[in-house]
Structure 1
């Protein structure tokens, strides 16, 4: 089926102003990542206390992380669904649909009953909402990356590709900043646990607040027009009947490489955001000992680290445009391997060492995450780009993000509270990414409209 648009009939696609491209790609992913981080924070602070039977704290934490990981399984399905729409119907409306799905699911989490009032129905509903979040994020990232890169000026695709990536650190800061404000307004007598008021109703506020952010994101997204690359695909009659089948038939190697390109990024991302929050807050004398920081102190330390995440996400763009995506990422991945090997001495060096660990980890996160906004879309031609880049990005979420917090807790427990094996796990996954980069090719000089 061929899609016809006004621009395709005239033979000329209208251009999106550069400021609109930057804002649309940034605002949408900021909201999507905000929603995701709100859940990630609640998975550590709230859900083990409220959505599972009382008794074993470690089991409840693992169950909470398992539901957290369940969303990653839904992400490839979302990538296929929204990718199909994005490659056949256009980027704009598809992005609006993904944003609405995520926003509604997040808002409804804020209204869910707890285990005390609804029994096992509570975690079951939480799983459903979490799957909806993952399904939506599966279509969000690739669409935002395409809006940025397909509308970028020549030789600046990697720079523009960093703007949707910047939504991750900004979303983290907004989500955790809001949790900090609520925790400060509802203080606890026990710094290792949220207050009764926080657990009763305070935790719901960040989820309900997502509705306001979604309205802002929709207003920006609805002002977009389709990119020249998609309009050219329509005009030339090159829209694929089943983009998924075409991707697997003609670009399966790129799918595999793109999946492993993202592996180290995902593992590092979720270790530094989700696992670190559990490890940082766990008491030094707990059955599963950690660093013993109170929630407010450690989250403030994390936010400082995330500022470096944002700065180096932007810095990575010029590097990737000048040196190439592949060369930049090879060096960064080597640094991630080394970083995983030095976790134990860094975390044993007191607050200075922990702060250095957070800053270095988030700096590397920015340098590896930033170039992906250009690299993954560049692996695929315009008529299957939404589907191909989305599948690579989101299948990697299963191999990396879905299991990373769960494996990390298991290794943390096996090591008797030591983070040594968690760091080794990161280095091993980065080694797989390094191999894939060495097998891949440079993409910075491709024609994005083909």
Structure 2
């Protein structure tokens, strides 16, 4: 794959000259989109195979000496570790992304994610080995190493999302950042389809309830990540640095213009926007992990559905999610990011109260509808988020600010609610899980309404922070 043509000097910063592929939406933008889409698909695939395994097999493999309910709770506790690691990753990789560039940082996030995922595939369980190694397991060290690898996954994904969205947003022509930002936002849909599909094929091959699936079968989706990482590295290495970052490098040549600690600058300049945006993004995470990992666990343990049926529903929902995400992101270029995201959250407030009574009917069709709608409202909100957050921050700390905002939402909506929900399911009625989700959605709705509209912001504007603050003050 050839490298991407950068805009030449002498034109408006960040806006490719007329007649180039980037300006006309030709091959260069398609390559940038492909690099971003494939990279986030691989990263999220690695992240989601863990979530699927956490729901289907980890309680048995790594927590065999506790009750099924406590095993599920412990499994989702390891699942949640990554969400606490994600803000750390956004700060760490955001620092390097804002200092040395988007592209080089994204190569490292891909390597760390891929290698930690492959390692999980070879990890012996609590009292069972892996491929003939450690036949009696490694006891307590199994869960410990699992948590360590999960932390590395979260660390890598915390640095991945912002870099991937900046890769597209900083190449996008004016008024088309929503359309370009759809590429990284499609990564979760593609990854969820691949993760569900891989487990689906393995389950059909080795049997839905056989010991082979528990002992060996679940490992293959993790090990297969190695092939995806090789492809992802090839794609990422073929892409040049973004024109906006190139311009930023030129303008920060003086010592006074250099930002030694982008994290400190982001907190000092826009800490309110980071916090509000983090709360606004919490429902994005809550609805995705409710529709994917948590519903997978609920359908398997509480409702007693087969693995193949649950995974098949996930694959169907992932296809719908992809179309909904694309439509919402593109539409946000016309009406603005806030309106689209706010509409999704308003719908989520109501849908959350309907969700569990619907699935508790015991109908497989109702379960399919529940997963599809839950992921669809997530897609409507997540599609425009790929443009909204990069548009909020200045170039000197954009990687850090956008990543930190998004990944704070991961703690508020992705780490804590699944643990609370698992406890509620074990001790109370499932309707209260819906009440919890509805309350989180209402908070996110208020927060997104408090944010300024960003679709007309200039990503090269040195006074972006003051403009954001001014817009917020005029609301």
TM-score scaled by length of structure 1: 0.92
In 2, Cα distance between the equivalents of 1:439 and 1:385? 20
Q: Superposed, which structure 2 residues align to 1:265-276 within 5 Å?
A: 265-276=284-295
Find 1:258's aligned residue among 277, 297, 301. Answer: 277
Alpha-carbon spacing, 1:83–1:55, altered in 2? closer, same or farther (3 Å): closer
Who is 1:321 aligned against?
Answer: 333
Q: Superposed, which structure 2 residues align to 1:1-400 within 5 Å?
A: 17-116=28-127, 117-188=137-208, 194-237=209-252, 238-282=257-301, 290-349=302-361, 350-400=363-413
Q: Which runs of 5+ in 1 are unaligned?
A: 1-6, 189-193, 283-289
Further displaced range: 168-177 or 343-352: 343-352
Does structure 2 retain, via aligned residues, the 8 Å contact 1:228–1:449? no
Q: Superposed, which structure 2 residues align to 1:398-417 within 5 Å?
A: 398-415=411-428
Who is 1:4 aligned against?
Answer: none
In 2, Cα distance between the equivalents of 1:206 and 1:278? 18
In 2, Cα distance between the equivalents of 1:8 and 1:157? 17
In 2, Cα distance between the equivalents of 1:178 and 1:353? 24
Kindly state the Cα deviation for residue 426 of structure 1 after the two structures are TM-superposed: 0.9
Kindly state the Cα deviation for residue 11 of structure 1 after the two structures are TM-superposed: 7.3
1:346-371 CA-partner distances (Å, limit 9, x unpaired): 22442332222222112111101111
In 2, Cα distance between the equivalents of 1:199 and 1:291? 20
1:12-62 CA-partner distances (Å, limit 9, x unpaired): 899771111110110000000100111011111221111124241111111
Does structure 2 retain, via aligned residues, the 8 Å contact 1:270–1:404? no
1:118-137 CA-partner distances (Å, limit 9, x unpaired): 11011111111111000000
Does structure 2 retain, via aligned residues, the 8 Å contact 1:87–1:239? no
Matched, 1:448 2:459: yes
Equivalent residues, number: 430
In 1, Cα distance between the equivalents of 2:8 and 2:210? 61
Further displaced range: 9-18 or 143-152: 9-18
Kindly state the Cα deviation for residue 340 of structure 1 after the two structures are TM-superposed: 0.7
Kindly state the Cα deviation for residue 9 of structure 1 after the two structures are TM-superposed: 12
- SS of the residue 1:50 aligns to: helix
Alpha-carbon spacing, 1:344–1:57, altered in 2? closer, same or farther (3 Å): closer
Does structure 1 retain, via aligned residues, the 8 Å contact 2:184–2:386? yes
Does structure 2 retain, via aligned residues, the 8 Å contact 1:76–1:390? yes
Kindly state the Cα deviation for residue 211 of structure 1 after the two structures are TM-superposed: 0.6
Alpha-carbon spacing, 1:445–1:119, altered in 2? closer, same or farther (3 Å): same
Over 6 Å off, 4+ runs: 7-16
CA RMSD of aligned residues (A): 1.8
Kindly state the Cα deviation for residue 297 of structure 1 after the two structures are TM-superposed: 0.8
Q: Which runs of 5+ in 2 are unaligned?
A: 1-5, 17-21, 23-27, 128-136, 462-475
Does structure 2 retain, via aligned residues, the 8 Å contact 1:35–1:207? yes
In 2, Cα distance between the equivalents of 1:53 and 1:353? 31
Does structure 2 retain, via aligned residues, the 8 Å contact 1:173–1:306? yes
Kindly state the Cα deviation for residue 176 of structure 1 after the two structures are TM-superposed: 1.2
In 1, Cα distance between the equivalents of 2:264 and 2:418? 33
- SS of the residue 1:438 aligns to: helix
Who is 2:3 aligned against?
Answer: none
Who is 1:285 aligned against?
Answer: none
TM-score scaled by length of structure 2: 0.87
Kindly state the Cα deviation for residue 10 of structure 1 after the two structures are TM-superposed: 6.8
Does structure 2 retain, via aligned residues, the 8 Å contact 1:110–1:205? yes
Does structure 2 retain, via aligned residues, the 8 Å contact 1:308–1:366? no
In 1, Cα distance between the equivalents of 2:258 and 2:50? 37
